Each structure stands twice: as C-alpha cells, then as structure tokens.
Amino acid sequence: MNLFPDTKKIAYTAKYTKTDSGYTGELIEWPEVITEGKNLEECRLMLKDALNEMMLAYRELDRPIPVADSVIVEELSAEEGHVCQTT
C-alpha cells in the first residue's frame, strides 16, 4: 500500500570511492549530495540520508529536484601494455 500516491521514485547513480578512512559516496546526477562512512554499508546509509535531506532542502527552497536520467554509466577498459602517447 502506497501511503503517498502522488510521489514517484527517482533512481540516482551512486559512486563510492575507497579512501584511507573508509568510503566517500556521491550522486553523479546531484554533485551536492556527498558523504562518507567508515565502511561501504555505512556510506550507503549516509548517502541515502544525505539524499533525503537534500530533497527536503530543495523543496523548502522551491528549487527543482535534479533529474536522474541524464547520466549514462559505461565501463571502459584499456590494456596497460598497449597504451601509447598520441601526437
């Protein structure tokens, strides 16, 4: 049962980076949403909390919520031994 029928779910792209003290998490489509945690699970929870807080702040400021379908995520690979300088 949806308690808030007028709401829609927005899926953002999260990026996690390992640091010396744990992990940093950020949303690709919404660079202002960034946090850190001691481990990956804590960082995920903190990022979700940061997203919710930022959504509330944007609503209070009457600012548009960034769209989530503007980023294409793609993995690129290269063979280190075959990389050469171009002129």
pLDDT tens-digit series, residues 63-77: 999 887 766 777 777
- The model's pTM is 0.74
Give the pair of three-digit tokens for residue 24: 């940093």
pLDDT tens-digit series, residues 10-35: 889 999 999 999 999 999 999 999 99
pLDDT tens-digit series, residues 40-65: 999 999 999 999 999 999 999 999 99
Q: Domains of the chain (ranges plus CATH)?
A: 14-82 (3.30.160.250)
The residue among 55, 53, 15 whose CA lies nearest residue 36 is: 15
Total residues found in the chain within this entry: 87
Distance set, CA 57 to CA 7, 9, 32 (Å) = 17, 18, 12
